[in-house]
Amino acid sequence: MKKEKLLEVEQLNIKFTTSIGDVNVSDNINFTLNKGETFCIVGESGCGKSVVALSLTRLLPENAVINGSVKFEGFTISDLDDKEFAKIRGQKIATIFEQPMSCINPVMRIGEQIAETYRANFKCSKKEAKLQALKKLEEVKLPANRYNAYPHELSGGMQQRVMIAIALACNPQLLIADEPTTSLDVTVQYQILELLQELKEKYHMTILMITHDMGVVHDMADRIGVMYAGNMMEIAERDAFFKQPLHPYAQELLNVVKDPCHYTIPGTVPNLMEIFSGCPFEPRCQKATEMCKTYKPENSVRDERMVRCLNVIPN
Amino acid sequence: MKKIIINRVLMILPTVITIAFLAFSIMYFSPGNPAEILMRYRNPEGGTDPAALAHYEEMLGINDPFLTQFENWGAGILTGDFGESFKTGNPVTEEFFYRIGYTLMLSFTGLAFSLVIGITLGFLSAEFKDSWLDNLLRFTQSLKMSIPSFWLALFFIYIFSTQLRWFSAFGYNSPKDLILPGLVLGLSNSSRMVRLVRTCILEEKGSGYVYTARVKGLSEIQIFFKHILKNITLPIITLTGVSLVSMIGGSLIIENIFGLPGIGTYLVSAIVAKDYPVSMGFLFAYGVIIVFINLFIDIVYQFVDPRVRDCANAEI
Ligand SMILES: Nc1ncnc2c1ncn2[C@@H]1O[C@H](COP(=O)(O)OP(=O)(O)O)[C@@H](O)[C@H]1O
Ligand SMILES: [Mg+2]
């Protein structure tokens, strides 16, 4: 079966110019999202995952310099003007952020916030929008009498459900979920993931899930991208990945999952202001050679698998 | 919430007593003998007959100790009796209620101008941050801060009354005569509002709900009116209260320049004429009005933000 591509990211480079120097957050990143799949980008905090996600919907602040191409349904998004893009952003791509409390308006009733999304994108009466919003509340399993609640009256899990309802108000094709469960309790995390899975199947959505939690990846992903210090280190299908991760960083991430209480990857994520002459993971890598210090690894691709490491070739 | 409001109301009491004390002391310690002044008003040709003077001193209780006099005046206030104007012989309260309307109308016109100017320019400044427009606006705001309001008033009178003849330069005949003084008052009080609105908007723009609103496909203007504005109401209300207070104070000068018959004009002429009961009464009233505005703002505060509202409820 030929997979249809929804989003194609090619040679994406992002840097922030700041008063104390440039921050390189994305270094020649390539990946594609196929229709209907869940693609997880995983990596430690500070690797640039959120920035890459924000760049897809042109939400980065002005000090970001973006190069490369992002195609959504075949259109290059940087070619569209603000108005055209706002339409795509509203109707076809939805985003859920990590902190639900700060991402819904604290002084507006939650039902209105859902209805507003619908009204912003489709011409309809207030009443119709309210009906839609009530339907969405039901879909995310919040009781209808919560329509008039304010965000602070809800628990974190319920707030995230509201975020999901807002995101799904226009039945988007692509849902970008940036650490949607990180701020929640473990049991609630599980419920939210289950809800996302259920809605994904119902609406045939494509999900780009960003997380630092391998457990979430294991539960949700169809394909996985491992990101480290602005570099996409490995892209693989789920089963192949968990059977044998190829990149030393990916292997380390899985080592942590196997023994979360005792094992940590030595060292820390580098400051992205550094300019790496070799592989950015080299200082923490147990398999590094002399070469890794001086040569930047290139992407090597075979079939569905990509690895960016001098010592590993996908097979 | 009830408890909080009751608290605030109770806290007013000592403040009002202090204001009364200050208003009284200022006039008590100012040079001049009230009895002599009253006598000259009542009987312009009377010369300085010591017996008559003694009669007036007795009537005013001038020779009582300071505290007794203060108590007598204070007791009068409690029953709404501020004495009679030396000059006209009318009760001070009557003079006051006759004029306060003009002062309030002027202050609220000024407030309306300062809100409209502040929010519009603040929005533009934030929306086009660091552009030439923003720089120009910021420059004019800081320029305006250093221009005294009376200068602005005279300048406006010259342009709009003398040259263009759009407004009359002096006196009050119709509400239209409030526009120019209101504009001056609003303009000279809007700088802080512009800056506050600009800073608040820029701060809010970095917050998550604004990102969410963008993701929803709303335009920046929609985001401002539907989301940001409501989130920055609290600081705006606070500053509005502060502005209203400084407008009621500022109206004192503006009323005089534009010849509006408000309490400011009357207070100034009463002080010049050494009309003690009017001066004390009006000073006291100015203070009390300001206290009540602050109280009102505290209470409005409780209603605007659902979070404040609930915290307040939780306290009971
Ligand atoms: N506006 C910005 N200006 C400068 N640096 C930024 C900006 N936004 C993010 N960064 C930097 O980009 C890096 C990656 O951040 P982020 O994408 O949030 O990481 P992750 O989501 O993987 O935890 C961080 O080091 C952060 O400091
Ligand atoms: Mg992040």
pLDDT band at A175 (very low <50, low <70, confident <90, very high): very high
Q: Is A51 in the pocket of ligand 1 (CB under 6 A)?
A: yes
The pLDDT of residue A239 is above 60: yes
DSSP state, residue B158: I
**Spatial CA neighbour of A243 closest among A190, A294, A315:** A315
List chain B domain ranges.
101-274
**pLDDT for B3-38, tens place per residue?**
777 888 888 889 999 999 998 888 888 887 777 778
Instruction: Show Cβ contacts of residue A243 under 8 Å, excluding neighbours closer than 6 positions.
Output: none
Query: Once rounded to an integer, what is the mean pLDDT over residues A4-14?
Result: 94
Instruction: Classify domain B101-274 at the CATH topology level.
Output: MetI-like fold (1.10.3720)
The pLDDT of residue B250 is above 50: yes
Average pLDDT of chain B to the nearest whole number: 84
Question: DSSP of B69-108, one letter per residue?
Answer: HHHHHHHHHHTT---B-TTT-SBHHHHHHHHHHHHHHHHH
Query: Once rounded to an integer, what is the mean pLDDT over residues A75-87?
Result: 88
Question: DSSP of B186-225, one letter per residue?
Answer: HHHHHHHHHHHHHHHHHHHHTSHHHHHHHHHT--HHHHII
pLDDT band at A147 (very low <50, low <70, confident <90, very high): very high
What is residue B316's predicted lDDT score, i.e. its pLDDT?
Answer: 39
**pLDDT for B147-161, tens place per residue?**
888 888 888 888 888
- C-alpha B39/C-alpha B44 separation (Å) is 8
CA distance B151 to chain A (A): 41
| Domains of chain A, first to last | 5-92+172-307 (3.40.50.300), 101-171 (no CATH)
The pLDDT of residue B307 is above 70: no
The pLDDT of residue A230 is above 90: yes
As a whole-number percent, the residues of chain A with pLDDT over 70 amount to: 99
Give yes or no for a contact between A132 and A121, defined as CB atoms under 8 angstroms apart. Answer: no
Give yes or no for a contact between B290 and B248, defined as CB atoms under 8 angstroms apart. Answer: yes
Give yes or no for a contact between B304 and B39, defined as CB atoms under 8 angstroms apart. Answer: no
Query: Once rounded to an integer, what is the mean pLDDT over residues B130-141?
Result: 88
**Residue ranges near ligand 2 (ion) with Cβ within 5 Å:** A 50
What is residue A52's predicted lDDT score, i.e. its pLDDT?
Answer: 95
Q: Which ligand is located closest to the Cα atom of residue A42?
A: 1
Sign of CA dihedral B99, B104, B107, B109: negative
pLDDT band at A110 (very low <50, low <70, confident <90, very high): very high
The pLDDT of residue B311 is above 80: no
φ/ψ (deg, to 5) at B106? -65, -45
For residue B252, the SS3 value is: helix
What is residue A261's predicted lDDT score, i.e. its pLDDT?
Answer: 85
**pLDDT for B190-208, tens place per residue?**
888 898 999 999 989 888 8
Q: Is A216 in the pocket of ligand 1 (CB under 6 A)?
A: no
**Residue A65 in contact with partner chain B when CB distance is under 8 A:** no
Residue of B207, B214, B305 with shortest CB distance to A102: B207
pLDDT band at A95 (very low <50, low <70, confident <90, very high): very high
Pocket probe for ligand 1: among A12, A16, A40, the residue whose CB has the most ligand atoms within 8 Å is: A16
What is residue B310's predicted lDDT score, i.e. its pLDDT?
Answer: 63
- Chain B hits for A102, CB-CB cut-off 8 Å, are 207-209
What is residue B271's predicted lDDT score, i.e. its pLDDT?
Answer: 85
Q: Of B134, B212, B301, which to mutate for an interface test with A (greatest number of A Cβ within 10 Å)?
A: B212
End-to-end Cα, chain A, rounded Å: 22
Query: Once rounded to an integer, what is the mean pLDDT over residues B200-227?
Result: 89
**Residue B89 in contact with partner chain A when CB distance is under 8 A:** no
- Chain B hits for A169, CB-CB cut-off 8 Å, are 216
Least confident of A45-54, A243-252, B243-252, B277-286: B243-252
- C-alpha A5/C-alpha A71 separation (Å) is 10
Q: What is the pTM of this model?
A: 0.77
What is residue B315's predicted lDDT score, i.e. its pLDDT?
Answer: 43
pLDDT band at B252 (very low <50, low <70, confident <90, very high): confident
The tokens of B20 are what?
């009364």
- C-alpha B120/C-alpha B17 separation (Å) is 40
Q: Is A74 in the pocket of ligand 1 (CB under 6 A)?
A: no
What is residue A222's predicted lDDT score, i.e. its pLDDT?
Answer: 95
- C-alpha B2/C-alpha B10 separation (Å) is 12
Q: Is A50 in the pocket of ligand 1 (CB under 6 A)?
A: yes
Q: A76: which strand partners? A: A71
Element spanning B257, H or E: helix B233-258
- C-alpha B238/C-alpha B152 separation (Å) is 25
What is residue B163's predicted lDDT score, i.e. its pLDDT?
Answer: 81
The pLDDT of residue B309 is above 80: no
**pLDDT for A62-73, tens place per residue?**
899 999 999 999
pLDDT band at A295 (very low <50, low <70, confident <90, very high): very high
Query: Once rounded to an integer, what is the mean pLDDT over residues A173-193?
Result: 91
What is residue B75's predicted lDDT score, i.e. its pLDDT?
Answer: 87
Residue A238: half-sphere exposure toward Cβ, Cα within 13 Å = 14
The pLDDT of residue A278 is above 80: yes
